[in-house]
Structure 1
Amino acid sequence: MSVTDEDLVALIPSLPKVLLHDHLDGGLRPATIVELAAEAGHELPTTDPEELGRWFVEAAGAGTLELYLETFAHTVAVMQSADALRRVAREAAEDLAADGIVYAEVRYAPEQHVSAGLSLQEVVDAVQAGFADAAGAIRVGTILSAMRHLDRADEIAELALANRDAGVVGFDIAGPEAGFPPSRLASAFETLRRASFPTTVHAGEADGLDSIAEALHVAGACRLGHGVQLVADTGRDELGDRLGLIAHWVRDRRIPLELCPSSNVQTGGAPSIAEHPVTRLRQLGMEVTVNTDNRLQSGTSLSRELTLLVREAGWTLTDIEDVTVTAAAFSFAHHDERAVLIDTVIRPAYAAARGGRHRA
């Protein structure tokens, strides 16, 4: 690796970053899980925090999305009280800020946190209180997810709308993708569309182009969660790059992709970081963002994801600045807030970093 690559790797943690796809129940600190599990009487694979952290990464790397999702039984189990939810949200915001993230959108499914008697609104209140506890170093927007294989999407859509002035900035559907298309939840998306509320949809992670098409045309997705399978609608011949109908639609309409390299490798969506479609899709002119997905299950951070792309896929400071600006520009914050973030925080920091590298 060249000296300039090492300089860039050293810079990444301090550079301002923007994160759009991060799951609250996929980012707990292992030590926190151990403490909360003891309080809740939940049995864990191990009570040693370091061992537990390794267990999550190994279990999540079994090779399919379905097996990956099984690890959440443990994190969700310890997130059933208002105090636990508030603590997890606060610590998530603190950890993201410590990684140099200046704006983050964190998502979770309220319906998964009501087994001990909390109402959906009490869940939202607890999480928002946790984010507020960590306010100052980072701004966090909340995305409420409905589980696509269940039947509470209409409720969650109404919940999101009821809290749009309390920090909830978007709606999502999550969970097993294959066999559970957005059309199952069409009424929820119609409600949100009529209310002018933004949506991002998990699509093209464990299912193909039909899933992406429904996210776009049935759900009216403003962004695609993952979208890694979009690369199947691209090709190259002697005349150059070729895009299919869906790929053209995504590129022509500037629909952002929330790509999560390490997570996709774990679930079989990509063979390696070096061969991950994130680089190819960016080269094709797609609106690419880089994300963590689940920091616990992938043993990762946004700095780590970007470092891997530098080391294994040849990314440069320009690439990192571009995906950071793209993430800010397509966040669910209002336009004036995005412009201030880009013009006064992100661009100046990368200009200074670029100058520093030239002197080196």
Structure 2
Amino acid sequence: MKNEVNLTTEDIIRSIPKVLLHDHLDGGLRSQTVIDLASEYKYNKLPTSDAGELAEWFHRGANKGNLVEFLQGFEHTIAVMQTKEALERIAYEMMEDMKKDGVVYVETRFAPCFHTTKGLYYEDVVNAVLSGLDKGRSDFGVGYGLILCGMRNMKNTLEIGELAVNFRNQGVVGFDLAGEEGGYPPKRHVEVFQFIQRANFNITIHAGEAFGKESIWQAIQWCGAHRIGHATNLKEEFTFDRDGNIVGFGDLAQYILDKRIPLEICLLSNLHTGAIDKIENHPFGILFKEKFRVTINTDDRLMSNTNMTKEFMTAIEYFNLTLEDVEKITINSMKSAFIPYKERLKFIYDVIKPGYQKTKDELLSLKI
């Protein structure tokens, strides 16, 4: 006898455990929160005070096909993230949103240098975010790590790297280099990366999103990146035969494959920023098939109108992923997280694997 339960693929994907490694805190605010904080702090530059209209405005503005215009919406989100209370609220709500999306562990990131216009010190900024994340973990049971971003067009990246290391025992798990790639190669910031390496700390770098494979090469071989954010232009390293079948990789892609360097893939964001022209042309399909250490991520949830469920649904639609594939990618992500090895294992064996097995058992029971 069949159980009369109609589960959609989206229901299943939302319910299973997921891991998110590339998420920008200032790109994932709730539109209503932006409106609330703008009213509270007398910020009057928002285009509308209707939450639905504002969400659509952010998404429409981000979906212009180039990174520079994509980033313009951050003027408004950052403007309302200038007090301890606002930062704590936004971090807390992010954790609640993760819980609703089935995310069991998240590494969120932001650049402290953008949150000091009302007089906060860097330490105040980081402590406020960590306070919100801690409360969120307590209330929603979602694990987290915080990554601090230095900006590639600024000269204070060493200071941010030192800040990250100073907070390593309070929840900060890594350092990232973010911002526009063109004209700002990662090797200009080699001093901060040498500092991070000598402190035995963790590095991820935005590379190969709006610039070529050279950016990825510099991130790894000059700066010692342990993970790469986006890596979309690694596709320049693929060699195809006349029928479009992959027949080989360049030295950089082979190195990334052999060394199991994790790639933080952001499908919808790459479409919105123009890194790809359409989803089916994203290198993710080849990277996954060829056994690269790929992870699926959201990047900027508000700007791209996305979450982890939607990102996986996109991958399922365009690249024919199975539930087993989604589980493999989720375990890839957890293996690649910047928390200690034993903590990663605990998530994999106590949370992720049992969660997927429970779902498989439920699906099997529906077929009996």
What does 1:26-105 align with in structure 2 at a 5 Å threshold? 26-42=27-43, 43-105=45-107
User: Deviation at 1:335?
Assistant: 0.5
Distance 1:274 1:14 in 2: 26
Give the Cα separation in 1 of the matches to 2:136 and 2:246: 49
Aligned to 1:305, which of 305, 311, 325?
A: 311
TM-score under structure 2 normalisation?
A: 0.94
Partner of 2:360: 354
Secondary structure of 2:68's match? helix
Distance in 2 between residues matched to 1:10 and 1:169, nearest whole Å: 31
Could you tell me which residue of structure 2 aligns to residue 199 of structure 1?
203
CA distance in 1, matches of 2:278, 2:326: 19
1: distance between equivalents of 2:191 and 2:33? Answer: 38
Partner of 1:112: 114
Provide the alpha-carbon RMSD of the alignment.
1.4
Please give the TM-score of this superposition, normalised by the length of structure 1: 0.96
The residue type equivalent to 2:323 in the other structure is: L
Which residue type is aligned with residue 167 of structure 2?
N
What is the CA deviation profile of residues 36-83 of structure 1, one whole-angstrom value per residue up to 9, with x for unaligned ones? 111222210111110000000000011101110111000000001111
Q: Which moved more, 1:234-243 or 1:325-334?
A: 234-243
AA in 2 matched with 1:14: S
Moved more, 347-356 or 318-327: 347-356
Are 1:256 and 2:262 matched, yes or no? yes
Q: Once the two structures are superposed, what CA deviation does each residue of 1:152-207 show, in whole Å capped at 9, x if it has no partner?
A: 10100110011000100000011101111111111000100000001000001111
Asked if residue 223 in structure 1 is aligned to residue 227 in structure 2, the reply is yes
Contact kept in structure 2, 1:274 and 1:309, CA below 8 Å: no
Matched with 1:3 is none
2:213 corresponds in structure 1 to 209
The alpha-carbon deviation at position 221 of structure 1 amounts to 0.3
Match for residue 291 of structure 1 among 278, 284, 297: 297
- Aligned match for 2:190, one of 176, 186, 200: 186
Counterpart of 2:327, as a letter, is: E
Match status 1:18 vs 2:25:
no
Return the alpha-carbon distance in structure 2 between the equivalents of residues 168 and 96 of structure 1: 18
SS at match of 1:58: helix
- Identity, in percent, stands at 41
* Contact 2:238 2:246 (C-alpha < 8 Å) held by counterparts: no
For the pair 1:157 / 2:158, whether they are aligned, the reply is no
| Equivalent residue, structure 2, for 1:128 | 130
**2-side partners of 1:9 and 1:232: how far apart?**
33
CA distance in 2, matches of 1:94, 1:354: 26
Cα displacement string for residues 244-294 of structure 1 (whole angstroms, at most 9, x for unaligned residues): 011011101000000000000001112222332211111111100000000
Q: Could you list the per-position Cα deviations for residues 107-161 of structure 1 after superposition, in whole angstroms to 9, with x for gaps in the alignment?
A: 0000010111100000001101111111231011000000110111010011001
Aligned position for 1:345: 351
Give 3-state SS (helix, strand or coil) of 1:134's partner. Answer: helix
Q: Give the direction of change, closer, same or farther, for the CA distance of 1:236–1:121 in structure 2 (3 Å limit).
A: same
Q: Are 1:273 and 1:313, in contact at CA under 8 Å, matched by a contact in 2?
A: no
3-state SS in 1 of match to 2:161: helix
* Unaligned segments of structure 2, at least 5 residues: 1-6
Any unmatched runs of 5+ in structure 1? 1-5
